[in-house]
Amino acid sequence: MKKVLGILIVVLTLNLGFAQGKVSFQANISNRNGDVIYIKDNMNKTIKEIAVDKNGQFSDKFDVKDGFYVMFDGVEYAQLFLKDGFDLKLKMDAKQFDESIVFEGKGSGENNFLAQQTINNEVFLEENFKKSKDEFYQAFDAKKKNDFEKLEKGNFDDAFKTQIKKSMTQEFFGMQMDYAQAQKTREITGKPSPSFDYENHAGGREKLENFRGKYVYIDVWATWCAPCRAEIPHLQKIEEKYHDKKIAFLSISVDEQKDYEKWKKFVDDKKLGGVQLFADKNWASDFITAYGINSIPRFILIDPNGNTIDANAKRPSDSKLVEQLDSLLN
C-alpha cells in the first residue's frame, strides 16, 4: 500500500474476536522485496512471520482471530481479512504490489475487494485531487454511492460487511480531509515556505532559514508510525547518494512531548542521519498546520531561496524522487 496507513488501516485492523481458528495461506510472488512476509495486528504486532523461498513462494497455516490484519513484505503494506477456515492463494508482483494482487480460494472475495478498493481509491485521488471543489465533490459522491452498492451486492462474510462499512465511512471522511490538505498544498507551492524553530537532536535549535542556499528535503514522521519507519532505510540511501550535493535532509518528528526521550533514543539506536528535529507542539506546530499535514509520513521539498517546490514530495522509496532531485541538482 503506497499511501500512509491512516484511519482506514486503524479501523480495519481491529480484530473482531468472534472466533479463533486456522487459516491456510499460500503465495506466488514475483520480484519479492524480501525473504519474509509479516502478518500484523492492530497494534502493529507481528502475529506470524512467513518465510518466502527464492522463487517467491510460501505455504503456511496459522492461528488467527477472525478480523482484519496487515500484510507487510518489508517495503509495502496490504490489508487482509482472515477468518477460521479461509484457504487463501495469493499471486502478486511486488514491483507493482497493490495493482497486481489477486486472491483465489476460500476468503478470496473479501480480500480481492480490499485490494481493489485500495487501487480504486488511489486512482480516484490521482484523478480528482486537482479538480475544483464542486467537481471533486460531484465525483466523490458518485464514488461513495458506487462503493457501498458494490459492498452490498457482494457475497461477503457478514462480519466483514459490518466492519468494512465502518472503515469505508472513516476513509471517505479521510478523503475529504486529504482534499482540503491538497488545496492548501497548491496554495503554498511556489511561495515562501513557512519556517520553524525546532530543537536539533545534535544540540541547539534550527530554523529553516539556516539552510538557505541549499535544497531542503523534509521528512515529517513519528516513532510510532510504521510506514514512516519503513521509509527510513530508503531515506538513508538517498542521504548517502546526495551527501556531497547542495541539499539538506531534515527529519521533523511530531511525537508528543511525553515521547521525547523515546524519540532521542530511537534516533541514537537507529543511527539516523541528516538533521533530526523535534516539533514544538507535535501536530499543532505552526509549520505542520501551515502545510495542512494530517497524515504521515509526509515529505516536502524546498528550494535554496526558501520557496516550496513540492509540498507533497515523493517518498524516498519512490524512484521518481531520484529523478526529481537529479533534475534539480544537475
pLDDT of residue 210: 97
Q: Confidence class of residue 19 from pLDDT cuts 50, 70 and 90?
A: low
pLDDT of residue 18: 54
Judged against a pLDDT cut of 80, whether residue 181 lies above it is answered with: no
Using CA atoms, how far apart are residues 174 and 77, in angstroms rounded to an integer?
18
Boundaries of every domain in the chain: 7-183, 197-329
Spell out the long-range contacts of 98-102 with Cβ–Cβ below 8 A and sequence spacing 24 or more: 98/1, 98/2, 98/122, 100/30
Using CA atoms, how far apart are residues 90 and 208, in angstroms rounded to an integer?
46
Judged against a pLDDT cut of 50, whether residue 11 lies above it is answered with: no
| Other Cβ atoms closer than 10 A to 238 | 23
Chain segment 58-97, per-residue pLDDT in tens: 999 999 999 999 999 988 889 999 999 999 999 999 988 8
DSSP run (H or E) holding 303: none
CA angle 180, 181, 183 (to 5 degrees): 65
Percent of the chain with pLDDT over 90: 75
Judged against a pLDDT cut of 90, whether residue 209 lies above it is answered with: yes
User: Of 70, 97, 66, which is closest to residue 10 (Cα–Cα)?
Assistant: 70
Chain segment 34-46, per-residue pLDDT in tens: 999 999 987 778 9
| Other Cβ atoms closer than 10 A to 4 | 21
pLDDT of residue 17: 52
Spatial neighbors of 290 by CB under 8 A, at least 6 apart, are 188, 194
pLDDT of residue 7: 37
pLDDT of residue 3: 40
CA 178 to chain CA mean position, Å = 13
Q: What CATH class is the domain 197-329? A: alpha beta
Q: Confidence class of residue 172 from pLDDT cuts 50, 70 and 90?
A: very high
User: Of 225, 226, 235, which is closest to residue 255 (Cα–Cα)?
Assistant: 225
Judged against a pLDDT cut of 90, whether residue 4 lies above it is answered with: no
